[in-house]
Amino acid sequence: MNSQGQFGSMMEFLDNVNKDQVVITCATLSVGFIEELATSCEKKDLTFFDMPLTGGSIGAQTGGLTLLVGGNEKELEKDKNYIRLYCTGS
């Protein structure tokens, strides 16, 4: 599927997201795709975080994976406990 097809599917997904939910990506996606998604979420008044994972297989084996978080700082502060659960499982 090309990026336009992926973005079209994501837009259909966003039509079903409630304003009290948070949209999070945790994948290898193009900068352009993330920018379009962030803009679409902003237009729909949805909270969006881009959370790529780094460290690769060695990081996974050694417990050295790092989850980066990009998004609205105020919303991040509000949702940090949920994100902490996502990162640590506890």
Q: Work out the mean pLDDT of the chain and round it to a whole number.
A: 86
Averaged pLDDT for residues 42-53: 93
Residue 1 pLDDT: 41
The DSSP line for the chain is --HHHHHHHHHHHHTT--TTSEEEE-S---HHHHHHHHHHHHHTT-EEEE--EE-HHHHHHHT--EE--EE-HHHHHHHHHHHHHHHH--
At 2, is the pLDDT very low, low, confident or very high (cuts 50, 70, 90)?
Answer: very low
- Model confidence pLDDT, tens digit, residues 20-33: 999 999 888 889 98
- The type of residue at 8 is G
Averaged pLDDT for residues 31-36: 91
Averaged pLDDT for residues 53-80: 90
Averaged pLDDT for residues 27-44: 91
